[in-house]
Structure 1
């Protein structure tokens, strides 16, 4: 058995001498520890720190901090909040949990097939334990990694997770910290990696008390969509940076997670020479050298600078970035929608899809119509395909639609079949959104629970309505039904997956196709992408007929697809066809492609 604990300079740390409590409160006049209702003054120390050690304070006891004799707040580094974000924290002894995965070192990145999920809606139970019971099903599909949407404690009982305010406390709505550890321990026993989504660009709108005693945690010099920026680069920035560095290491070490997905790093505003996301990556690489740790970015700025490889092709900082460009190309082609940011992909969409598949980013310093002509992105063609996480659906792209529709509600099965193969057999790292493997019928809607703050709930409802008023695709249906109210429980429960669908048509057939494609990926694609990348290229052979080549030291992979309205015939010069659409036909070295069909070809050596 293995025991794990990550030591931190703040929060409640169980030691041989008792539990040490530490709070950084540079703008407080006084701080007292409130332990099981009893108040004890804490000693003010240099740098705005308050500390004390209590000999008889063991795991399970409840505590809080009283600021300036009046305001009682939870620990910002609390490991558990059983009664939500406004109440007392609980002392946790992480070393009391016995792990069985002591030999687990992770899996190589090229083997990753990611399954993004929301713990509260992926199963009827909506808990870590409920998800643990589904891990074998996911492994049978061919999934090798689950990515948990943010777990940091948020206000209320339901939320996507991006409103977290207590970054070290897995939300109690899903279970206890030990329940989460049991989930990860079981995943590792099955050979599954676990990634956790973290949000370091803002705090949620309620439950964050740092402003009351650590005003310098934030800065007016940087403004974000959520208000004042986090102080990563000004006076007093060191404790702030350490807070987030330790948070990343906490999930990787104490919870033995295999990687992190960093939400919207373009909104992390840091003018220092050593950007915080680089410092976090450097710490993780240095402190966990013997493990396969995968650090994934979401970055609307398309900055290839965070994805460098060493001479052996291994990432020096971050492992990969979500490839939003690729998603937008697929979505525009599949649906014909051109609202919002999709306008940037509506002109020459097949050419843009080819660039996204072959080079990663579509926008590599190119002007964006959606952004009023502003240039976006950096050159990315030198990066291997594994520097990009590919998807045709995710929580944002489904849930940020007014009605949370999945692609299976928007496009024909034939079109979706081609996109599924293009996703799962491409050498980029594929990601499925929960239920996508069988074209689940449940929507994924936007939901929150701010029941204790009606003004905030009203603002959310009204903001949601304004947001979609400008979209043509919504306005054309606005009279049919109202936008689901994100603050009511029914919106949350409507988003839960119905796993019984797997046994019924057409879901049964989609699941079988997903399994078949992932088996082909393991056999043909994974061995290729584990070798050195020699470059990618793309061409429109005819109008709306795409050919993409990826060259590796171990061979070449080719994807060809007909997005036109007429049949075409293509030559297959020397390779082995590893997949072809059901309505396409191969005769010798010629392939006849009906509209919206394609094939993958592999040349070894």
Structure 2
């Protein structure tokens, strides 16, 4: 949002000429003051509903806004002096001594590793996570995707209940800990992507409701609360400035935007187009990538500046095929999951507007014209593991040989692969749902979680208590080093080496023609993806011995024997 002189109004504070100016959008407030230390200073209202006050301050000073008599933290706080209800902290100019010169990486090179900072290591901090990055780079991972780190109430949580989206969650460390994490990642050739939630605020500590009720459209609701009103220019600027802050202040390489299908209503489409345009200009010296989670299976955003979208269709087809499950959102993939996998390998998405079993309303439009890099595929994610009552990983639910071959397929197919933390080492520890709410809100979450699963395989009475520290502790990765984990790491390394040497050059050359996928019997297929630089060929069995499926004996990558073993994969690449 810009005033008549073209000067951008900034959410939060800003330094200029040794003075610090605090700003807050509170368009319907009668009186707003800045509480700085033991001083209270009236703030001046501007025509657009922003209030401002310029003071002599020092980095580290504490402040609050007093809005119509109620004290509240800054909704754009960069750092809190405690929890989400505490004082905000005046930030100082960044003088972090960056060590790595970094121009980013081509999106075709992406092999993503999704991690939750709090459970990735025993310590659950960014400093501890940074110590594990060299091991990921050694396996061939090229990007880490952090689940949300904007501050939420308490210490434990997935991050999707954030209420101060500019502020680093303090349980993970200080701002310089994130900078050191990113600097270390870049020194190893790893991109860092942040999961950003712009579709809702959490239920505790969202003081923006008090300051600016107009931030929300109370006539619409998301599954998590009041919908945000993206028709308001000030609202658009809040989120764009938030994204710019993370990308520039911490030198991140991109963002994954949570549930953009809930960014709806007047102005939403224009906002997303504006967002992509502004974010790609945030730092012209390097590549910045944008991923969306979008249940609509619509190509529009990927045609308008967004690089890629999470592709749950691939996951659902693999999951139903290997587990036989058919509850909930798996219902429409349970009829012929291997046929759906063939569609996913050929077109990217499975549901593209056609009639589907167990679905009253068709979903999606054709996205087959998009490049393979427009789809982020996974066989496990925080959602698909953590939203199970017991948080089971795929290895705990399906034939290990099938899981191993599906994982190899994920890493060698031409779509962007995403590994969920621990998957690369064959982890079987659960990833459960956990929060750190208090009082009535905590009880409501506890009982709601139990009710959610009460009718599914009698699991309601056995759902782990999401408020218990034990539930959080059980979700931490176990970093044992034994033959089983070494075997999985070797598979990951071999597959990602094949990807780097053969798949990435083909992706960079550009797609020459549509993919061709041929089904052979119940659970085998052959596939070819033509590129200007050559072709990628793949032969796969996921539960069927297919003697007539002939794969080259000298395939550059393979797991077991196609045509002889029920679970097997062979992949070759040839240059033109």
Shorter-normalised TM-score: what interval? over 0.9
Match of 1:604 in 2: 575
Whole-angstrom distance in 2 between the partners of 1:336 and 1:504: 30
Q: CA deviation at 1:132?
A: 1.0
SS at match of 1:307: helix
Gaps of 5+ in 1: 1-6, 309-315, 585-590
Counterpart position of 1:189: 187
CA contact (8 A) 2:524 2:546 kept: no
Map 1:524-535 onto structure 2 (within 5 A): 524-534=502-512, 535=514
Structure 1 residues 442 and 361: alpha-carbon distance in aligned structure 2, compared to 1, 3 A threshold? same
Match of 1:558 among 514, 519, 537: 537
The answer to whether the Cα contact below 8 Å between 1:11 and 1:75 also exists between their aligned partners in 2 is: yes
Partner of 2:206: 208
Give distance in 2, aligned partners of 1:512 and 1:8.
52
User: Would the alpha carbon gap of residues 541 and 72 (structure 1) be closer, same or farther in structure 2, given more than 3 Å must change?
Assistant: same
- TM-score after normalising by structure 2: 0.95
| Aligned partner (choices 214, 217, 220) of residue 218 of structure 2 | 220
**CA shift at 1:278, angstroms?**
1.7
CA distance in 1, matches of 2:202, 2:322: 34
Cα distance in structure 2, aligned partners of 1:215 and 1:381: 42
C-alpha separation in 2, matches of 1:21 and 1:299 = 35
The 1:249/1:352 distance shift into structure 2, 3 A limit, reads same
Do residues 296 (structure 1) and 296 (structure 2) align?
A: no
Structure 1, residues 53-86: CA drift from partner, whole Å, max 9, x if none?
112x0110110101112x1100001001130100
| 1:525 CA displacement | 1.1
The 3-state SS of whatever aligns with 2:241 is helix
Give the aligned partner of residue 62 of structure 2. 62
Moved more, 535-544 or 345-354: 535-544
| 28 and 178 in structure 1: CA distance in 2 versus 1, 3 angstrom threshold | same
Q: Distance in 2 between matches of 1:447 and 1:594?
A: 40
TM-score by length of 1: 0.91
Q: In structure 2, which of residues 510, 515, 519 is the aligned counterpart of residue 540 of structure 1?
A: 519
Distance 1:289 1:368 in 2: 44
Q: CA RMSD in A?
A: 1.7
Number of residue-to-residue matches in the alignment: 568
Q: Shift of the alpha carbon at 1:8?
A: 6.4
CA distance in 2 between counterparts of 1:600 and 1:229 reads 46
1:19 alignment partner, SS class: strand
Matching residue of 1:4: none
Alignment of 1:250-329 (within 5 A): 250-272=245-267, 274-308=269-303, 317-329=305-317
CA contact (8 A) 2:230 2:268 kept: no
2:339 corresponds to 1:345: no
2-side partners of 1:489 and 1:279: how far apart? 41
Q: CA deviation at 1:373?
A: 1.3
The answer for the alignment partner of 1:117 in structure 2 is 115
Is the 8 Å Cα contact of residues 358 and 537 (structure 1) preserved in structure 2? yes
My pick for the range that moved more, 595-604 or 458-467, is 595-604
User: In the superposition, relative to structure 1, how do residues 505 and 273 fare at CA in structure 2: closer, same or farther (>3 Å)?
Assistant: closer
Cα distance in 2 for residues equivalent to 1:319 and 1:525: 18
Classify 1:369/1:202 alpha carbon distance in 2 versus 1 (closer, same or farther; 3 Å). Answer: farther
- Secondary structure at the aligned position of 1:375 is classed as coil
What secondary structure does 1:158 align onto? Answer: coil
Question: Shift of the alpha carbon at 1:334?
Answer: 1.0
1:380 is aligned to 367
Q: Secondary structure at the match of 1:601?
A: strand
